[in-house]
Amino acid sequence: MTDNLYFESAVALAARLRAREVTATEVAETFLRRIDDENPRLNAFVTVTHDLALEIAARCDAAAASGHFLGPLHGVPIAIKDLGEDRVGVRSTQGSLPLKDYVSKTTSIFIQRLEDAGAVIVGKTNAPEFGHKGVTDNFVSGPTRNPFDTTRNSGGSSGGAAAAVAGGLVPLAQGTDGGGSIRIPASWCGLYGLKPSAGRIADIARPNAFITSSPYSSVGPLARSVADSALMLSTMAGPHPRDPISLPALASPLTEIAGDGLRGKRVGFSADLGGFPIDPKVAAVVEQSLEALERAGAIVEFVDVTLPADQFELAQLWGRLMGLLYSDSVAGYFEQGYDILGKHLDELTPVFRDILVAAQTRTAIEARKDEHLRSAVYDAIEDAFTGYDFLASPTLAITAVKNREDGLTTGPSEIGGVAVDPSIGWCLTYPFNFTGHPAASLPAGLSDGLPVGLQLIGQRHQDAPLLAASAAFERESPWLTWPQFSGAPRV
């Protein structure tokens, strides 16, 4: 075992495990030591499941000894997000003080699928309270630090997951994306982050089975490469009869990535997605990355996106929709004896508390009007897709922000003199949670040493073509050659 194992691809590591060059227990012990050494620096993990990891690894090794392998992720360490992703018997805090000692009583269907595929769960990763903002910081665990610059944030809400993968603490991590929560930290941590089509991965939610539909919230992978992402996605994907928005199974495995994913494809690029202010340095890196799309055979043209409202108003719309989702989540915990809206209200992050409280007085008519505006966003995106196979934009308007130490890290409140919502308004990601399109953040380059993401959006339900296009970009813009991902010593 060498330090380079930490940055070995999940695909290669899975192959070594199947060839029995290494055992699952050896791999688990190696990564657990890495987590113990590096987590104090990054604060990526909230809970490290040493015993569970070694238990699953032993199960893998016992199966391998009899000539049987559990699945495509046999023995590969993974991290799961500490935000509603349940594994029975493991602490699940939601980044919220009232739930800091809560232990899951069930296992999420997609987590069970990962474990059935042989994945070794090494712990749960940090997230902001109930995922209410695009950075990772909370009153339970504090901020997650960016491996590229530990004074800065990793992004959110799957920020712990992204820092863990970028820092070599795990080869793969599971995230969720209700407004950009996979793509945002992928952009800031130099990773490939994919939000699959809404419903591609079944997610059983109660008491509201439709909670993930407004806005669309998707489970997905965070990885250093497209192939690694496809490997993890393929094990989680698939319908379930208890998820009313889950999609039918695909005819071909998502790991079968087409080799000509951008050849002759038309890509419509919007530099501001219809009115988002963008840091000029970020804009320059993203526009430079378009050359990689063209080298891969794409026809790239600038396209106008005409959104039905100002970006600030749309960010407020996202907050109102999420407030209803949070209310459903809180209701579920109330049934288990946690009175978050009552005796625990003063323990909540102020912005999250305000969103949650405001949702309690919204009328059904007001909520319907919000869905009307959301529908107009959907139409605007579909209009922009006319004549194009993919859309592209910056993932974020800025590079990673500095961390605070009081649990209240946010994004900026203005960019270039234009007001933006500090929780989500600097993210060009959430419009695609209104619509459900598959979308990914790809490493576009560095600005002053900090990663910048290019967002690539696929047509509705076209996850496989989006993976193929991403892989074509990756071949022309090989971010895996960055020193941070080679195991080279940190400066």
Which residues are annotated as catalytic? 81, 157, 181
- Pair 92, 124: CB distance under 8 Å: yes
List the structure tokens of 62: 């016992």
Closest CA to 146 of 194, 185, 172: 185
Question: What 3-state class would DSSP assign to 442?
Answer: strand
Interatomic CA distance for residues 30 and 106, integer angstroms: 28
List the structure tokens of 139: 């009153």
Tell how strand 172-177 and strand 77-81 pair up. parallel
- Pair 387, 397: CB distance under 8 Å: no
Interatomic CA distance for residues 444 and 456, integer angstroms: 11
Interatomic CA distance for residues 212 and 84, integer angstroms: 12
Closest CA to 274 of 177, 412, 397: 397
Interatomic CA distance for residues 388 and 471, integer angstroms: 18
Tell whether the torsion through CA atoms of 248, 251, 256 and 258 is positive or negative.
negative
Tell how strand 299-302 and strand 439-447 pair up. unpaired
Phi then psi dihedrals of residue 393, to 5 deg: -160, 170
List the structure tokens of 346: 């003063």
Tell how strand 439-447 and strand 450-458 pair up. antiparallel
Interatomic CA distance for residues 471 and 136, integer angstroms: 28
- Pair 132, 139: CB distance under 8 Å: no
